Structure 1
Amino acid sequence: MTKVVLVGGTGVLGHALVPRLLDRGHAVTVLAPGPRPAPAGADRVDASLLDIPGDELAGVLAGCDVLVNVATAVPADPAAAGAWELNTRLREEGTPRLVDAARASGVGHLVQMSITMVYPDGGDRLLDESTPLDTDPARAALVEPVRVMEQAVRRASGDGPSWTVLRGARFAGPGTVQDLQRRRLLGGTLPIAGDGSSWLSMVHVRDFAAAVAATVEIRPPGMVLNIADEPVREGEYTERLARAVGAPPPPYDRSLVPELPSQRVSSAAAHRLLGWKPVTGIWGGVG
């Protein structure tokens, strides 16, 4: 039996991941603050990664075989002033604290969730893990905290735990951005930006949870792996989502720039090393 400590496991991903880990015979402890309940069957430590004293954090991690960090703080209103400050702190401050505690506690392996949205605009080119992170100053607020987070994990090499970074694509499924997209399509307020040819890379929460569970067991050391479903053109995606929810066809607005750069992400390495492929798919549960 593997002892797993899951940091930030009370959200949509945690509720998809914990049952999968329990079904495979692992013992799970969730470290998370706030009123949201931990998934059924997991032990709970009610504490924030940013506020728990270092010695207490090390104590929580004592005897931990695999530490999984999926801590995020996605704001209800992403456009509000300062909305992403807590999420940035979790990446820039929380992850280094966690790595230090894992080193002190003798944790065996660290699985760190990251994101593929930090890649630059690749046009039609496939983006694999060798693609450098975006250096556009206009996107620094998103990219730099992720760069700091991943560097903190890499520094664990040597005297710290082995590690795997899973760069997940934008989440699909209930409780994700698709909920807002559905509402906007039904309200007629989600046009297709540009000519719709920009690439989108997404992954269903359940499929990402499957990748995390596989990583807990296989533990490929020192690897960064993209976890994304097959990319889709923005126009095709938005039109299909509109049909699925019974919304009118969305208009094209060539004056708009896509929200994200064109990112046609390849997950070939995860297919090979983890035996992972998406099963639910980005359309699971949208109808």
Structure 2
Amino acid sequence: MVHIPGVERMADPTAWEENDRLRVVASEATARAAQGAGARRLVQESISFVYADGGDGWLDEDAPVAGGGPTTSALTAERNAREFFGGDTVVLRFGLFLGADSDSARAALEAARGGVSMAAGPPGAYRPTIGLDDAAAAVAAALRAPAGTYNVVDTDPPTNAEIDAAWLPLSVSRGSGPGRSRTGRWHVRSV
């Protein structure tokens, strides 16, 4: 089940209301159904953006979390999975998906073509990311892993500025064009 708004709707607050409702309602219903069916393991999807600001410190699964916006419903879904399911619960906190088949990656590339950054937060903020193949491997591994919460992110997270810089050469052809000035310098701004 995918409930995250499509890229074209991410700026629409009602899209996030739908996301939040589905995360909260579906996570409880899924946990109860798994319990009722006698399942021994439940794997709950979550996001790695739930942590409180840790500055330059490394954030692991024991770092403090801070709800707010879409992270609140992700934390509620985690709690529902643990409370309403009596078996082993594995929570996977995914980073930003990167890959050719990733809608978020395609949207970031399109934004870069327009000279806009999709990154939330300041340029120096670290952004947890994960490749699609690695994310899929983590889901398979969750079937055998001990119960608990796991960050599914790259081990060397880039900053927002590094992500933006990586998109720039991919986003424009030679010469002047969207996102590029006549001098050839990039103009990237956060939205």
Counting only pairs closer than 5 Å after superposition, residues 109-258 of structure 1 correspond to structure 2 as 109-135=41-67, 140-156=68-84, 160-173=86-99, 174-190=101-117, 196-216=123-143, 218-221=144-147, 223-229=148-154, 230-246=156-172, 248=180, 250-251=186-187
- When residues 195 and 165 of structure 1 are mapped into structure 2, their CA distance, relative to the original with a 3 A threshold, is closer
1:194: Cα distance to partner? 8.2
Confirm or deny: 8 A CA contact 2:16 2:70 kept in the other structure. Answer: no
SS in 2 for 1:82: helix
- Aligned residue in 2 for 1:72: 3
- What is the Cα-based RMSD across aligned positions, in Å? 2.4
Aligned residue-pair number: 178
Comparing 75-84 with 90-99, greater Cα deviation is found at 75-84
Give the residue type in structure 1 aligned to 2:126: W
CA distance in 2, matches of 1:191, 1:90: 24
Q: Deviations over 1:44-86 (max 9, x none)?
A: xxxxxxxxxxxxxxxxxxxxxxxxxxx4232331112411122
1-structure distance, mates of 2:121, 2:17:
30
**1:156 CA displacement:** 4.2
Q: C-alpha offsets along residues 104-142 of structure 1, whole Å, 9 cap, x if unaligned?
A: 11012111110011112222111101112115xxxx232
Identity of aligned residues (%): 28
Greater RCO (CA < 8 Å, at least 6 residues apart): 2
Return closer, same or farther for 1:148/1:195 CA change in 2, 3 Å cut-off: closer
Give TM-score scaled by structure 2 length: 0.82
* Cα distance in structure 2, aligned partners of 1:115 and 1:219: 18
Deviation at 1:154, TM superposition (A): 1.4
- The residue type equivalent to 2:150 in the other structure is L
How has the CA–CA distance of structure 1 residues 108 and 84 changed in structure 2, closer, same or farther, with 3 Å as cutoff? Answer: same
Structure 1 CA distance for aligned equivalents of residues 12 and 96 of structure 2: 20
Judged with a 3 Å threshold, the aligned counterparts in structure 2 of structure 1 residues 144 and 184 are, in CA distance, closer, same or farther, namely closer
Give distance in 2, aligned partners of 1:92 and 1:193.
Answer: 24
8 A contact 1:192–1:251 mirrored in 2: no
- Cα 1:241–1:219 change in 2 (3 A) is same
Q: Deviations over 1:5-26 (max 9, x none)?
A: xxx2xxxxxxxxxxxxxxxxxx
CA distance in 2, matches of 1:162, 1:226: 17
List alignment gaps of at least 5 residues for structure 1.
1-7, 9-70, 260-287
Structure having the higher helix fraction is 2
